[in-house]
């Protein structure tokens, strides 16, 4: 059963069944910049983000991958058949780069609120974008320095945000793969060429 609740400027929070993995927890549906700001400032989102800044590494290298429309992330094709396949067996800590979450550990993927939002990138503008870049920047100052290497396996949208936040790392993007290792027709993380690129680079 689906129940919609309107709050503030109109942000829709939906209470879903077990399908999301977070029974009786709200799902943040962003349909405007205002919704984006409200979501980013929601206590559950900000608490989750602050918690991510205190994470201690379990490996010496970190890999940043993008979020996905499918939740939880490990169930999305790009992750299941792309990023995770390329990183299989690697001694790395994987992080999700997300609007509205910030940069959070991959192992949180099946927990609330990490599995409970829909935030189309087109709504990340103005104040919402500024807030998120500031949060990325804080991760870059507090968490990234704990690693010897940080790999950026990010598409254009997320890569630009991370760069604007001042986070530096090794480019492990599909775009970089196409420069030397992949054919020009490769645009998906699920391509065999890109998976191999990740396996060899990291």
Query: Residue 98 is part of which domain span?
Result: 3-201
13 pLDDT higher than 80: no
9 pLDDT higher than 60: no
Please compute the mean of the pLDDT values over residues 174-200 and round it to a whole number: 92
pLDDT recorded at residue 23: 56
HEC string for 174-195: HHHHHHHCCCCCCCCCCCHHHH
Q: Which of 158, 164, 162, 184 is nearest to 78 (CA)?
A: 158
Alpha-carbon gap, residue 37 to 123, rounded angstroms? 10
180 pLDDT higher than 90: no
pLDDT recorded at residue 184: 85
C-beta of residue 76 within 8 angstroms of C-beta of residue 190: no
- The string of pLDDT tens digits covering residues 15-35 is 333 334 455 688 999 999 999
Q: Roughly what angle, to the nearest 10 degrees, separates helices 43-52 and 33-40?
A: 60
| Phi, psi for 58 (deg, rounded to 5) | -110, -10
Q: What is the CATH number of the domain that holds 194?
A: 3.40.50.10630
pLDDT recorded at residue 89: 96
pTM of the model: 0.88
183 pLDDT higher than 80: yes
Buried (b) or exposed (e) across 115-151, using 16+ Cβ within 10 A?
bbbebeeebbeeebbebbbebbebbbeebbeebeebb
- The string of pLDDT tens digits covering residues 96-135 is 999 999 999 999 999 999 999 999 999 999 999 999 999 9
Count up the domains in the chain and report the number. 1
């Amino acid at each position: 059963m689906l129940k919609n609740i309107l709050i503030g400027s109109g942000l829709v929070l939906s209470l879903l069944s077990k399908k999301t993995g977070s029974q009786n927890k709200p799902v943040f549906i962003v349909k405007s910049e205002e919704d984006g700001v409200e979501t980013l400032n929601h206590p559950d989102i900000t608490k989750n983000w602050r918690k991510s800044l205190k994470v201690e590494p379990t490996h010496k290298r970190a890999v940043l991958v993008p979020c996905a429309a499918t939740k939880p992330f490990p169930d999305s094709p790009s992750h299941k058949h792309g990023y995770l396949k390329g990183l299989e067996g690697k001694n790395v800590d994987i992080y999700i780069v997300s609007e509205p979450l910030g940069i959070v550990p991959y192992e949180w993927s099946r927990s609330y609120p990490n599995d409970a939002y829909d935030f189309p990138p087109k709504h990340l503008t103005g104040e919402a974008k500024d807030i998120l870049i500031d949060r990325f920047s804080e991760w870059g100052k507090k968490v990234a320095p704990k690693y010897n290497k940080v790999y950026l396996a990010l598409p254009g949208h997320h890569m630009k945000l991370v760069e604007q936040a001042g986070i530096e790392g090794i480019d492990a993007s599909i775009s970089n793969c196409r420069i030397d290792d992949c054919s020009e027709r490769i645009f998906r993380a699920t391509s065999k060429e890109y998976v191999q690129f990740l396996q060899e680079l990291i």
